[in-house]
Amino acid sequence: MMAAMGLRISVLGRGAWGRTLMGLWQQQGHQLRSWSRSDDAGDPAALLDADLVVSAVAMAGVDDLACRLGPQWPSSLPLLSCSKGIDIERLVTASQLWARQLPPGTPVAVLSGPNLADELARGLPAASTIASADEQLGPWLQRHLSGETLRLYRHSDPVGTEAAGALKNVIAIAAGVCDGLQLGANAKASLLCRGLSEIGLVLHGLGGQQSTLYGLAGLGDLLATANSPLSRNYRFGQLLAAGLSTAAALEQVAATVEGVRTAQATLNLARQHQWHLPICEQIGALIAGSVTPAAAVRALMGRELKAEIAP
């Protein structure tokens, strides 16, 4: 897994996140190659001759790419999944989609945390989580991929890390709506606190560790994404609050807003497991156009009174 003069890293996906990671790792002296779905004539399998493959494609493209590359994947080649979301049809995370197609025993890790690509690209400092069930892969990635502006911490909970990274995008849309309606600091704090509770319910239900909720991939990522205009999901929520339709808001953001598909996938999971997720439910209805932003707020405020923490 090691190279004398830096790692040979292949990056699948050249969106904002993929390009940012490539820039960081090039500065560290690693050798980078990349592939994008826009490379019509390019074969991503040609990038499997590497020390590490990094998947940074949008969630919607993960399954097709995993099916395409799985049969050709060397079993000792590690994968680092950086995609955030839940598959809307299979209701699993990105690394779980990859695991269905990769050879048994393939080393897999996920990267998640408060990592706004624009800030990292400008050299601003950040920290993130490398999560893997493989006891050797996590420390190896941490040692080789940490740099002057990106500090990596290890964790053993990849599914919980991915669940938190996915759900925070839905709550970030809600935060954008909250700020767009100028509901104030009290409302915003209440929303994020109750939103964190909903993230925790899904995280635990999918088998994640409770400690993950309060780490970089949970609370850390939520705080960054729900408070910054650099967040696509937050901006999308602000546009919904301004009265734009989902289609018009997506057109104005002009980039992938993962929280839209994740909201629907989360509601599908909630129906399957009988989870009660009122904030996600209202965001799903708002995205579908069946409620207005003001009506969604009234619905949340008018819910039956209950204990904050269930006994």
Q: Which stretches in the chain have pLDDT values below 70?
A: 1-5, 40-41, 310-311
CATH number attached to the domain at 166-301 = 1.10.1040.10
User: In Å, how far are 151, 155, 280, 290, 303 from 127, measured between CA atoms?
Assistant: 5, 13, 27, 38, 37
pLDDT digits (tens, 9 = 90+) for 164-212: 999 999 999 999 999 999 999 999 999 999 999 999 999 999 999 999 9
Is 168 noted as a catalytic residue in this protein?
Answer: yes
The one catalytic residue in 84, 168, 188, 306 is 168
Regarding the domain delimited by 8-156, which CATH topology (the fold level of the hierarchy) does it fall under? Answer: Rossmann fold (3.40.50)
Domains of the chain, residue spans: 8-156, 166-301
Q: State residue 307's pLDDT score.
A: 84
Q: State residue 2's pLDDT score.
A: 44
Integer-rounded Cα Rg, in Å, for the chain is 19
Euclidean distance between CA atoms 70 and 119, whole angstroms: 33
Q: State residue 306's pLDDT score.
A: 84
